[in-house]
Amino acid sequence: MFRPEEVRFSLGLILQNVGKVFAKHMKGKGLAPWCVGHGSGMSFRKLALDQLGGFDNRLGAGAPLRSGEDIDINYRVLRSGHCIVYEPRAVVRHNHHRMTNEDVFKTRYAYSFGGAALMHENSGNLLMFCMKVGRFVQLYIKIVQYKLTGKKELLRVFKEDLRGVRDGIAAQEKNPRDPKIKPDL
């Protein structure tokens, strides 16, 4: 169960993720709303979704902000005081997707683009502001690390992430939120 307090700023939430900056693969539990999961198997109470203004059509594949519609709605659900229940027995099966390295770079770029747009738009919330700043710090550290160690593929991955973050912030400023969608509550 994910509760509203998981998207409120606390020093503990920030500190538990600082180590990820220096970890080998940056894995581990992320901060809500990212750790809640992705949209392939979501369901909502219609009333709650309607109260929040529904999904933000600027976000998602093919939309101006490219990704993050699922993370955005998770964030708004938690910020509005609702809980999110994760049911591990629910299974969504996808066809096996074979991705080339180029596909991986494009996907990383799109995810970073949408995530940065979401953080930038909500950076009036101290947690989101810290996450946005932390993402820049994390990416710069990883880029320097992989430059120094000569790991060209990983260097390219993190450069694509950084490019996505920069472009996502710029795109969010050009694409304001629809007023019927409830912003950072």
Domain boundaries, the chain: 4-174
Radius of gyration of the chain from its Cα atoms, rounded to whole angstroms = 17
pLDDT in 10s for each residue of the chain, 185 residues: 999 998 888 877 777 666 665 555 555 566 788 888 778 788 888 998 999 999 999 999 899 999 999 999 999 999 999 999 988 888 887 776 778 888 888 999 999 999 999 999 999 988 899 889 989 998 999 999 999 999 999 999 999 999 999 999 999 999 988 877 766 55
- Output the pLDDT for position 20: 60
> Token pair of 101, please?
């390295």
Closest by CA to 27, choosing from 138, 109, 125, 110, is 138
**pTM tops 0.85:** yes
- Output the pLDDT for position 184: 55
**Alpha-carbon distances, residue 124 vs 120, 127, 134, 184 (angstroms):** 8, 9, 15, 8
- Output the pLDDT for position 17: 65
Cβ contacts of residue 32 below 8 Å, gap of 6+?
2, 6, 7, 74, 75, 78
**CA–CA gap between residue 161 and residue 84 (Å, rounded):** 28
